[in-house]
Amino acid sequence: MRQHFAGTGASRGSVLGRARVRLPHALDVVEAHVEPGEVDAELDRLHRAIDTVRAEMHDLRERLHGALAAEVGEFLDLHALLLDDPELLAGLDALIRTGRYTADYALRLQRDRLAGVFESMDDAYLRSRIDDIDQVIGRLHAALHARAAELDGAAGDILVTDSVAPAELAQFQAQGVLAIVTSGGSPLSHTAILARSLHMPLVVGATGVLARANDGDVLVVDGDTGRVVIEPDAADLRAHRAREREIKRERRQLHRLRREPSTTTDGVDIRLYANAESREDVAEAHALGAAGIGLYRTEFLFLQRRELPDEDEQFRAYRDVVLGMTGRMVTIRTLDLGADKADRTGLALRDEPNPALGLRGVRLSLARPGLLDTQLRALLRASGYGQLRILVPMVSSREEILAVRERVAALSAQLRAEGHEIAADMPVGAMIEVPAAALALPSFIGDLDFLSIGTNDLVQYLLAADRNNEALGELYSPLHPAVLKLVRDVVRLAQRRGLPVAVCGEIAGDARFAPLLLALGLRELSLHPSTLLEVRRAVRACSMQALTERSRALLRARDRRTIEAWLADACPPVP
């Protein structure tokens, strides 16, 4: 019988398939005991599962990089602590020993006991931590039964479950799951963000589906509208096919944009650069017709290892990026490490009281002169192979730029004397992400060749709002009059000086914000290649003249709501 449910679309795509139901881990475990002689074996079984999960999480942690490392990594770290928690472990061992319960049931008892306490808490934030415990216990259950392997049978199915951890999502996709429907969750969750970046259709908050769907039921899931239909009728199938065609057509149109310019309806060319940190990113950027690399992160060369990369290794990595872009401009950022990044080289200070305000970016580079010189020498050598410029992160004053420039000049002379072919004049630019740098820009803009506005950190520092602190909710948002004004001022000043200026934060890669950035005067954006075509499409729907006329209204906006209304008005309807 046909039943339909209204969830919230969290990641696009219309999918028709069979349901694969995964009940909440802890709920489908019934009371079971082991024989007295098997207690030790059961304890072994539990601890092997714990070791397996620990290894899995470690493995995932190693594979994460870029934005995901910060976002998902924090959860993994919390989960790793929970996994080794004496409260959890001692309780489990005691239950198995004294109650002779199976490991599965002991886990369920522990989960229920903890859930009972968490659920009685007043604090919504703490209450929601039971989700973290559930995810850890769910992983343990899966490891006890090698259930991850069992889900292999879900290839070609739609997973219906209560919640999905960010770390599980990639595994499901690898196993061939077509789409995911969850009864809980939010489109703002890390899982949803990850689903969008993996192009895995996702509907969240579809209450009731879990109770009604059975394995093998035919489902239609629409990741845009959030609609889920069990046993669809002829009209549903027709609607799904129409939706599918529409999405395919959109994808084709988007795909065709690879060879199109990023030009507004009135002929203003917007230069779309790519943010990159891997060979794949560079190849994709090139294939999509990016104007160049606007931000190449060098941290990945330094993370997840114990020894620093030497000059030759760095040189080869940078040279390959330059070669990969075949003469287009490549912007390489010097090391932007801080105590918040998981480096093992021992470069960044451990236990800094406040990593965001600590020894990071250019501060760290200048504090470790050998580190800076090695990187600059590698960059200068790579400049002989194409167009390269150096971007300096976390600049807060003129002195820092002058210090880097002095090293660039000295090392250039040294390298030439050694017989290396290097660029005649290496452009050096600054990330504008510390409010002080934006405000004091007139004092040192003469020492810069180009600018890149790092909105992620600029917003965090300007609004004194940690972007990873969920308790702050919407306080962290680029849609604040102070942010808009500061960005506009930086852009104006740079343009008056004839210097290139780009925005390279997350906001640049969000097609919805393209009209806003253009209205603030930006003509260069740097974004992850996976979002380049969508932003190009948005740009091609904008009229610069109309946006320029409306830019005053944008800067007059007094609050977030007005800015959002401005955007809603300005936005060409992006399907």
Residues in contact with other proteins by the rule CB under 8 A: 77-78, 81-82, 85-88, 114, 117-118, 121-123, 125-126, 129, 132-133, 353-354, 357, 471
What residues have CB less than 8 Å from 238, skipping those under 6 apart?
none
**Three-state helix/strand/coil letters over 280-345:** HHHHHHHHCCCCEEEEEECHHHHCCCCCCCCHHHHHHHHHHHHHHCCCCEEEEECCCCCCCCCCCC
Structure tokens at 405: 């420039």
Q: Of 431, 555, 447, nearest to 505 (Cα)? A: 431
Using the 8-state DSSP alphabet, how is residue 252 labeled? H
* Angle subtended at Cα 491 by Cα 489 and Cα 494, rounded to the nearest 5 degrees: 105
The torsion region of residue 396 among left (phi > 0), alpha (psi -120 to 50) and beta comes to: alpha
Distance from C-alpha of 432 to C-alpha of 452, rounded to nearest angstrom: 6
Residues belonging to the active site: 190, 504
Q: Of 5, 23, 8, 12, nearest to 179 (Cα)? A: 12
Closest approach of other proteins to the CB of residue 466, in Å: 8
Distance from C-alpha of 542 to C-alpha of 243, rounded to nearest angstrom: 26
What residues have CB less than 8 Å from 562, skipping those under 6 apart?
none
Q: Of 553, 551, 481, nearest to 518 (Cα)? A: 551
Closest approach of other proteins to the CB of residue 58, in Å: 17
Burial group, residue 381, by CB count within 10 angstroms (0-12, 13-18, 19+)? buried
* Beta carbons within 10 angstroms of residue 445's beta carbon: 18
Instruction: Calculate the dihedral angle through the C-alpha atoms of 566, 569, 573, 574, rounding to the nearest 10 degrees.
Output: -10
Q: Would you say 126 or 155 has its CB closer to other proteins? A: 126
Structure tokens at 371: 């580190």
Q: Of 235, 492, 457, nearest to 361 (Cα)? A: 457
Distance from C-alpha of 124 to C-alpha of 530, rounded to nearest angstrom: 35
168 vs 135, 145, 437, 458, CA distance in Å? 9, 16, 40, 32
Closest approach of other proteins to the CB of residue 113, in Å: 10
**Three-state helix/strand/coil letters over 68-95:** HHHHHHHHHHHHHHHHCCHHHHHHHHHH
